[in-house]
């Protein structure tokens, strides 16, 4: 059973303000088998709230993590962009932190070992913590030491008792997924060595709002972070965000560097990026619920514009498919009401997703080769955050006259 949030996930503030409702929709990654198509699908409320005390934006429904993550269909290694992002930060940490055979690098929600393999290839000890049993099994098969557990303060204490302490902790796109933020952040503090650094990446709520990236809202993403809300969260647990970078992955993300509060000065000099972004956010409106309500109106305008475009294409007899059986695609299709009346099918590189069906909309999922076999007139790009990568991969389809519809950040046809 899911449950409704009554207080802020970060600061326990009780005055949450509702800013956007996407109705009841299925779980974004609950892809269906052919046998399940005639069975009832579970749906859950998807509503966005704002905490005026710490500025955290969050959804109000919590689906049990065991239901969401014990069997998971997202494998990071299928994305060239994710692999390159992981490789670059790993190589950077090896140099900056002078990592070697006596070091330990830990990744929370380590998926299939896509990031930690960069350390293993340099003979640097690693430990992945990945709750999805099927994904953890793949990582271990690739030689990545992986615990099939949810990370928590309790687990961090257990690892400490075993003599493990992390020089570097990676947490890419995981803070947004955890219901008990306090336990995870407290666990980072416990596991991190006194001079260690945690490198945390989260989608940036500012990019979500500015670029109308509403489809990043789904039941796995419980929280939507700003620099302001992260600074509040870490400080509550005796940690300090001493540097931050804006990076383009996933439509715009933050990469935050965190250490023990008392150890910051001895690790690296503070940069001007943290205070500069905090000031920008104040001017931008990060602390006002009204700003996020305006975001809802812009989502509705995008819906009208997109449906008008797609319906016009169908009226002219043109054939449409989609690319990307992604979580964000599920939110967009279900909230906008786009299904088999408009799209013939979806293609995706992930072999784990192929031969299944999208939740709610029941579109069949094929390999990308289907586009060349079938040559639809247009492909609706649901994984718009990997647009450059996918457009390059689909150069032959485009040479034959196929076009892509990219919905976000600006509705365009290429």
pLDDT, tens digit (0-9, with 9 covering 90-100), for 208-247 = 999 999 999 999 899 999 999 999 999 999 999 999 999 9
Q: What is the pLDDT of residues 246-259, one digit of tens each?
A: 998 888 899 999 99
Which pLDDT band, with edges at 50, 70 and 90, does 3 fall under?
Answer: low
Tell me what pLDDT residue 293 has: 82
State the CB neighbour count (10 A cutoff) for residue 370: 19
Tell me what pLDDT residue 181 has: 92
Q: What is the pTM of this model?
A: 0.87
**pLDDT reading at 387 higher than 70:** yes
Beta bridge partners of 224: 57
**pLDDT reading at 110 higher than 70:** yes
The rounded percent of the chain whose pLDDT value lies above 90 is: 80
Tell me what pLDDT residue 264 has: 57
**pLDDT reading at 76 higher than 60:** yes
State the CB neighbour count (10 A cutoff) for residue 398: 15
Tell me what pLDDT residue 233 has: 96
Tell me what pLDDT residue 269 has: 55
Q: How far apart (Å, rounded) are the C-alpha atoms in residues 303 and 306?
A: 5
Least confidently predicted of 10-19, 223-232, 261-270? 261-270
Tell me what pLDDT residue 267 has: 60
* Average pLDDT over every residue of 4-12: 86
Q: Where in the chain is the domain with CATH 3.40.50.720?
A: 317-413
CA-nearest of 266, 128, 244, 127 to 196 is 266
May I ask the CATH class of domain 150-289?
Answer: alpha beta
Q: Considering the domain 317-413 in this protein, what is its CATH number?
A: 3.40.50.720
Which pLDDT band, with edges at 50, 70 and 90, does 74 fall under?
Answer: low
Q: What is the pLDDT of residues 26-50, one digit of tens each?
A: 999 899 999 999 999 999 999 999 9
- Annotate 229-286 with DSSP letters as a single string: HHHHHHHHTTEEEEEEEEE-GGGSEEEEEEEEGGGHHHHS---SHHHHHHHHHHHHTT
pLDDT, the chain, mean? 92
Query: In whole angstroms, how large is the CA radius of gyration of the chain?
Result: 21
Tell me what pLDDT residue 304 has: 95
Largest CA distance in the chain: 67
CA-nearest of 220, 73, 66, 75 to 139 is 75
Tell me what pLDDT residue 270 has: 58
Least confidently predicted of 70-79, 165-174, 337-346, 359-368? 70-79
Which pLDDT band, with edges at 50, 70 and 90, does 128 fall under?
Answer: very high
Q: Where in the chain is the domain with CATH 3.40.50.150?
A: 150-289
The residue among 308 and 265 whose pLDDT is bigger is 308
């Amino acid at each position: 059973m899911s449950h409704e949030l009554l207080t802020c996930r970060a600061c326990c503030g009780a005055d949450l303000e509702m800013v956007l409702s996407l109705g009841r929709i299925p779980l974004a990654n609950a892809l269906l088998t052919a046998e399940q198509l005639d069975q009832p699908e579970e749906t859950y409320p998807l509503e966005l709230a704002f905490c005026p005390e710490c500025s955290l934006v969050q959804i109000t429904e919590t689906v049990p993590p065991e239901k969401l993550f014990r069997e998971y269909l997202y494998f990071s290694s299928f994305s060239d962009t994710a692999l390159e992002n992981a490789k670059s930060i790993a190589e950077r940490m090896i140099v900056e932190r002078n990592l070697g055979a006596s070091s330990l690098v830990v990744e929370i929600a380590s998926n299939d070992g896509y990031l930690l393999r960069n350390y293993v290839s340099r003979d640097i000890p690693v430990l992945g913590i990945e709750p999805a049993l099927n994904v953890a099994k793949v990582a271990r098969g690739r030689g990545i030491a992986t615990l099939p557990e949810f990370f928590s303060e309790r687990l961090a204490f257990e690892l400490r008792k075993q003599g493990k302490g992390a020089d570097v902790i990676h947490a890419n796109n995981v803070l947004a997924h955890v219901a008990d933020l306090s336990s995870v952040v407290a666990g980072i503090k416990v596991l991190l060595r006194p001079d260690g650094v945690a490198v945390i990446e989260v989608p940036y709520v500012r990019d979500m709002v500015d670029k109308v990236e509403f489809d990043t809202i789904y039941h796995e993403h419980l929280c939507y972070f700003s620099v302001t809300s992260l600074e509040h969260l870490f400080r509550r647990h005796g940690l300090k965000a001493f540097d931050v970078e804006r990076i383009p992955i996933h439509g715009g993300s933050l990469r935050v560097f965190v250490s023990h509060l008392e150890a910051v000065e001895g690790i690296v000099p503070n940069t001007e990026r943290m205070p500069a972004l905090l000031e920008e956010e104040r001017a931008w409106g990060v602390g006002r619920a009204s700003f996020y309500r305006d975001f809802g109106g812009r989502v509705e305008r995008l819906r009208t514009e997109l449906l008008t475009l797609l319906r016009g294409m169908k009226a002219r007899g043109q054939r449409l498919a989609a690319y990307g059986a992604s979580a964000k695609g599920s939110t967009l299709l279900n909230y906008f009401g786009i299904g088999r009346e408009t799209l013939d099918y979806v293609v995706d590189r992930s072999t784990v997703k192929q031969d299944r069906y999208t939740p709610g909309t029941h579109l069949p999922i094929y390999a990308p080769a289907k586009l060349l076999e079938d040559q639809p007139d247009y492909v609706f790009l649901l994984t718009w955050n990997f647009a450059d990568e996918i457009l390059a991969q689909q150069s032959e389809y485009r040479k034959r006259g196929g076009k892509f519809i990219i919905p976000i950040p600006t509705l365009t046809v290429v």
